[in-house]
């Protein structure tokens, strides 16, 4: 395996592909958390998105329906979380954990008949340009539409939060729900919307895995990516652009360890596979060490229950 | 008309009653799921909740599964009571099993009464050390313990995988991913001939008693409870917050490590890849269902253990995938959290009340 320029181009392209589920899930969770809600059910919502996307693809043979359906299933399952935390005022952490346990079980139950079915080729865009342009070709072209969407998403999220009125409302609700409520904002409604949006993005992230990245259904195929996405939001100190950077770093580590395994690096496979998880811990330690910096950026009411006396 | 009012204080009877509401709702929810899947719900529920414990062997299996759940949940109750979200008990269980199993493998061809206590001690220490990682990172580097403890679950499972495939694999094992069988001196004594229930259950019961004593009769327990209710009060009272975080994580890790060592020296008898069907995660539900109360946790561990057994029975008799167990467990927690609403709010049906007054 030579390290020529075109190989590096392909390598960067594959790093981008592996970071897509992290970008999608983390960007969705970022909006949820910015509204003051901590949803630890990312892993559960992703795996539900993965199985429903794959199942719909097999049943309808239509990738568009599969993608939309996976997002809808993410919305539906996050509605459980929204109803419990917002209407019944349950603890965010415990409810999110329940969502993950429930989601993993439900996905395995629904997916029983879909194990071993081969996936379908997902259409890629500009495939001719990918071959004809050296280095930049494999980086910029020949990806699925979901990848382009994922790479635009952090910028859109940034614009939404900083430049639009709705974005301001979301931030106000997350930072000071009481004053937002006094301004006439329906805090619970805003939070519901942010939770459902997060669910949709996590569902899409799961569908990316089962339809595009490794087109098949494997039990537990998200393999902790939901949790890494949660860590990414902290790593990014709730800034969308930093989510993109963080996701690329983690995508890089994943691809790097895969290549090291392929080359036959003299480190046991399991240690290489543990790298993304260990890196998450190290990065969290480095970021969190400065507690003032974390406090400055954390949505002030994150994870707190908001109740308005009627 | 329905009116909802905030309660001023939580009635204790209701606090311990709502878990039963959650269990009943879960059974109803399960019936609906079975109906959707095309089974007779009554029959499916019977296979799920009654068939597994209709004989002595089944009852022994129930206690066998409840033992690790109870042990881990007892440990977790210390963390949760003090607002420390240790959700990586599965990793602490795995690491405890690795350390305990390592000691057992050292003595694989020896006999002696001292071996089992050494193995158990090693397991507890292993779990404790592993739980100290998120605790230290939380206290000294302000790192989120939820994410760290969870990441370590994946790390510990990969470490176990490496050991049973590589350096610790059985030299005579035809490259199966497993270690040698432990010697009889490293195995938990069985309580009854022909049943798998073993002496590990006494570890769980001892943990229940000890945790009740610590939580309700010692200064440490008082500190833990106060910090859980209000961190500001705890600070004002001058409690050493950092030490307490380290202590609750150590207790929790030791319990999870004990559960791991109980599994490998009990029913399993060696190390391999699948030493725990996610007991560490399920125990989180057990801890909540038991209301973080030592005796409540005994009851909750039996209920949740039944979902494991029921899932296995339903898989055999109805060919329902065994993951229904996890669905049930998730539902229990959902319904439990939802029924907590009744604790904090009074739901009044006004019209009825007026009629009552007239009579």
Cβ contact, residue pair B147, A105, below 8 Å: no
Q: Taking CA atoms, what residue in A is nearest to B30? A: A106
Average pLDDT over residues B242-249: 91
Residue A1 has pLDDT above 60, yes or no: no
- Tokens at A109, concatenated: 């139950």
User: CB contact, 8 Å: B151 with chain A?
Assistant: yes
Q: Taking CA atoms, what residue in B is nearest to A96? A: B334
Residue A140 has pLDDT above 90, yes or no: no
Q: Which residues of A touch B285 (CB under 8 A)?
A: 98, 101
Nearest CA distance, B141 vs chain A (angstrom): 5
Residue A115 has pLDDT above 90, yes or no: no
| Distance set, CA A231 to CA A95, A170, A270, B277 (Å) | 18, 21, 22, 25
pLDDT confidence bin for A4, thresholds 50/70/90:
confident
In this structure, of A293-307, B204-218, B326-340, the range with the lowest mean pLDDT score is: A293-307
pLDDT, tens digit (0-9, with 9 covering 90-100), for B262-297: 999 999 999 998 899 999 999 999 999 999 999 999
CA B125 to CA B263: how far, in whole Å?
A: 16
CA A44 to CA B295: how far, in whole Å?
A: 31
Which B residues in the span 61-80 are in contact with A, Cβ-Cβ below 8 Å? none
Residue among A211, A171, A176, A200 at smallest CA distance from A301: A176
Residue B352 has pLDDT above 70, yes or no: no
Q: Which residues of A touch B341 (CB under 8 A)?
A: 88-90
A270: phi then psi, degrees, rounded to nearest 5: -65, -35
Per the CB < 8 A criterion, the answer to whether A55 and A112 are in contact is no
Name beta bridge partners: B2.
Answer: B349
Pick B143's closest partner by Cβ from A101, A106, A284.
A284
Cβ contact, residue pair B326, A104, below 8 Å: yes
pLDDT, tens digit (0-9, with 9 covering 90-100), for A274-303: 988 998 899 889 888 877 777 777 888 888
Q: Taking CA atoms, what residue in B is nearest to A283? A: B143
Largest CA distance in chain B: 84
CA A51 to CA A80: how far, in whole Å?
A: 18
Nearest CA distance, A134 vs chain B (angstrom): 38
Domain of B176? Answer: 66-301
CA A110-A107-A82 angle, to 5 degrees, is: 120
CATH (residue range A5-297): 1.10.3470
Per the CB < 8 A criterion, the answer to whether B158 and B138 are in contact is no
**How many domains, chain B?**
1
Domain boundaries, chain A: 5-297
Nearest CA distance, B199 vs chain A (angstrom): 30
Q: Taking CA atoms, what residue in A is nearest to B330? A: A102
Q: Which of the residues A51, A88, A275 would you substitute to probe the B interface, choosing the one with the greatest number of B C-beta atoms within 10 Å?
A: A88
Residue indicated by tokens 């592996």: A18
Q: Taking CA atoms, what residue in A is nearest to B333? A: A98
Residue among B149, B87, B242 at smallest CA distance from A281: B149
Q: Which residues of A touch B138 (CB under 8 A)?
A: none
pLDDT confidence bin for A3, thresholds 50/70/90:
low
Query: Which DSSP string do the residues of B223-253 spell out, in sequence order?
Result: HHHHHHH-HHHHHHTT--HHHHHHHHHHHHH
Within a domain: residue B326? no
Give the DSSP H or E segment for B345. Answer: strand B345-349
pLDDT confidence bin for B193, thresholds 50/70/90:
confident
- The alpha carbon of residue A238 and the mean position of all alpha carbons in its chain are separated, in whole angstroms, by 14
For a pLDDT cut of 90, what percent of chain B falls above it? 59
Q: Which residues of A touch B324 (CB under 8 A)?
A: 105, 109
**Average pLDDT of the residues of chain A:** 88
Within a domain: residue B101? yes
Q: Which residues of B touch A86 (CB under 8 A)?
A: none
Q: Which of the residues B29, B143, B160 would you substitute to probe the A interface, choosing the one with the greatest number of A C-beta atoms within 10 Å?
A: B143
Residue indicated by tokens 């359906």: A69
């Amino acid at each position: 395996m030579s390290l020529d320029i075109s190989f590096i181009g392909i390598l960067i392209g594959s790093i981008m592909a592996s970071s897509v589920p992290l970008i999608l899930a983390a960007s969705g969770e970022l909006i949820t958390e910015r509204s003051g809600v901590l949803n630890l059910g990312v892993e559960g919502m992703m795996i539900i998105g993965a199985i429903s996307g794959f199942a719909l693809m097999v049943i309808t043979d239509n990738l568009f329906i599969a993608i939309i359906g996976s997002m809808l299933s993410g919305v539906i399952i996050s509605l459980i979380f929204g109803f419990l935390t917002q209407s019944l005022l349950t603890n965010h952490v415990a409810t999110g954990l329940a969502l993950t346990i429930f989601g993993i079980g439900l996905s395995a139950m629904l997916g029983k008949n879909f194990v071993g079915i081969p996936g379908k080729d997902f259409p890629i865009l500009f495939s001719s340009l990918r071959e004809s342009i050296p280095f930049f070709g494999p980086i910029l072209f020949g990806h699925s539409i979901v990848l382009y969407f994922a790479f635009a998403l952090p910028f859109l999220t940034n614009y939404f939060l900083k430049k639009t009125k709705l974005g301001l409302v979301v931030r106000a609700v997350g930072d000071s729900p009481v004053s937002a409520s006094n301004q006439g904002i329906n805090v619970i409604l805003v939070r519901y919307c942010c939770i459902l949006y997060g669910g949709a993005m996590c569902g899409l992230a799961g569908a990316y895995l089962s339809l595009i990245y490794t087109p098949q259904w494997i039990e537990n195929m998200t393999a902790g990516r939901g949790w890494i996405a949660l860590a990414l939001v902290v790593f990014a100190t709730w800034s969308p652009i930093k989510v993109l950077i963080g996701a690329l770093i983690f995508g890089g580590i994943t691809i790097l360890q895969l290549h090291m395994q392929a080359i036959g690096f003299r480190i046991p496979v399991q240690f290489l596979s543990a790298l993304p998880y260990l890196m998450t811990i190290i990065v969290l330690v480095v970021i969190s060490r400065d507690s003032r910096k974390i406090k400055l950026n954390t949505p002030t009411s994150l994870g707190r229950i908001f109740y308005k006396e009627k | 008309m329905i009116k909802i009012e905030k309660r001023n204080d939580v009635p204790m009877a209701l606090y311990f009653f709502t878990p039963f509401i959650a269990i009943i709702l879960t059974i109803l929810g399960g019936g609906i799921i079975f109906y959707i899947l095309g089974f007779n719900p009554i029959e499916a529920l019977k296979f799920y909740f009654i068939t597994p414990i209709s004989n002595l062997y089944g009852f022994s299996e129930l206690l066998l599964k409840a033992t690790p759940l109870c042990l881990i949940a007892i440990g977790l109750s210390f963390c949760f009571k003090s607002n420390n979200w240790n959700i990586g008990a599965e990793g602490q269980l795995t690491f405890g099993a690795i350390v305990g199993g390592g000691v057992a493998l050292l003595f694989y061809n020896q006999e002696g009464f001292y071996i089992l206590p050494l193995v158990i001690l090693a397991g507890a220490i292993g779990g404790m050390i592993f739980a100290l990682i998120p605790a230290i990172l939380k206290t000294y580097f302000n790192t989120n313990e939820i994410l760290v403890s969870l990441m370590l679950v994946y790390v510990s499972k990969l470490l176990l995988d490496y050991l049973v495939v590589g350096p610790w694999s059985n030299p005579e094992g035809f490259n199966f991913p497993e270690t040698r069988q432990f010697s009889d001196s490293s195995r938990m004594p069985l309580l009854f001939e022909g049943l798998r229930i073993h002496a590990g259950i006494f570890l769980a019961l001892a943990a229940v008693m000890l945790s009740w004593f610590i939580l309700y009769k010692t200064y440490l327990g008082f500190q833990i409870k106060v910090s859980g209710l209000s961190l500001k009060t705890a600070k004002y009272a001058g409690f050493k917050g950092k030490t307490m975080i380290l202590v609750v994580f150590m207790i929790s890790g030791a319990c999870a490590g004990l559960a791991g060592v109980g599994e490998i020296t009990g029913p399993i008898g060696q190390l391999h890849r699948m030493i725990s069907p996610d007991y560490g995660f399920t125990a989180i539900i057990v801890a909540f269902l038991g209301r973080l109360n030592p005796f409540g946790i005994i009851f909750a561990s039996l209920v949740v253990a039944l979902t494991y057994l029921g899932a296995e029975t339903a898989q055999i008799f109805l060919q329902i995938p065994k993951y229904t167990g996890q669905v049930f467990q998730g539902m229990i927690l959902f319904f439990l959290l939802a029924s907590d609403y009744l604790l904090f709010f009074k739901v009044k049906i006004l019209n009825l009340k007026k009629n009552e007054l007239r009579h």
